[in-house]
Amino acid sequence: MKDEAEILGKIRDSIVNLDINSIAKLCKEAIDSNIPAYKVVTDGMSRGMEIVGKKYENGEYFLAELIMAGETMKEGMKIIKPYLKGSDLKIAGKVVIGTVRGDLHDIGKNLVVMLLEGSGFSVVDLGVDVQPEKFVEAVREHEPNIVGMSALLTTTMMEMEKVISALKNAGLRNKVKIIVGGAPVTREFAEMIGADAAARDAVEGATICKSWMGSR
């Protein structure tokens, strides 16, 4: 059996190197070596995604690489997902998430969805350009623990406040935690509109959601 750290390192690197052809084989190797599935996600693939995010911020990677990294992680998740059930990664809770009305950016949101699912959350993804009423309907129907909203435009950020108002009017605000994200969104802004938290990236977002559910 190979060293756990070595295999996890290779999985991390295959995400960083966008090596979509080797990730499935490495994930199988990890499972065969009795590495817990959640570790393959948290200490392997998620680490890789963090590095990819940094490379993107540094201008070393561009959007094509980000998307490819996401696709590579998806290939890995296909192998890992069946093993996540019953592993230490408990079904953490339910999240309803969407990009707010008027905003079509979804690359960041999709990364958040991927990490939340990888962290054991069940996620209802409402997609992009989501009307406040649609968030309300989804909260009523799915009874999530958490609502996540994404906005990439300064012009659509204020839609988040409208969603929170709509949830208040429907008597649902106190039944959910609300997390917001997207490049222009700050902690101060979140506080101002009455959200519970803002996350600067998907990793921090998933960590906050996990902490709300009392898991790691």
Residue 21 binding ligand B12, by CB under 6 A: no
User: 16, 41, 66, 92: which one contacts ligand B12 (CB under 6 A)?
Assistant: 66
Beta partners for 124? 96
User: 121, 181, 190, 210: which one contacts ligand B12 (CB under 6 A)?
Assistant: 181
Residues 41-60 that bind ligand B12 (CB under 6 A): 53
Residue 98 binding ligand B12, by CB under 6 A: no
Q: Which is nearer to ligand B12, 25 or 54 (CB)?
A: 54
User: 152, 163, 166, 190: which one contacts ligand B12 (CB under 6 A)?
Assistant: 152
User: 14, 42, 119, 150: which one contacts ligand B12 (CB under 6 A)?
Assistant: 150
CB of 28 to ligand B12, least distance (A): 27
Q: Which is nearer to ligand B12, 7 or 190 (CB)?
A: 190
Residue 92 binding ligand B12, by CB under 6 A: no
Residue 70 binding ligand B12, by CB under 6 A: no
Query: CB pairs under 8 A, 24+ apart, for 133-138?
Result: 133/166, 134/98, 135/96, 135/98, 135/163, 135/166, 135/167, 136/163, 136/166, 136/167, 136/170, 136/172, 138/96, 138/98
What residues have CB less than 8 Å from 171, skipping those under 6 apart? none
User: 179, 193, 195, 213: which one contacts ligand B12 (CB under 6 A)?
Assistant: 179
Q: Which residue is nearest to ligand B12 (CB)?
A: 108
Which residues contact ligand B12 by CB under 6 A? 53, 63, 66, 97, 102-109, 111-112, 148-150, 152-155, 179-184, 199, 201-202, 205
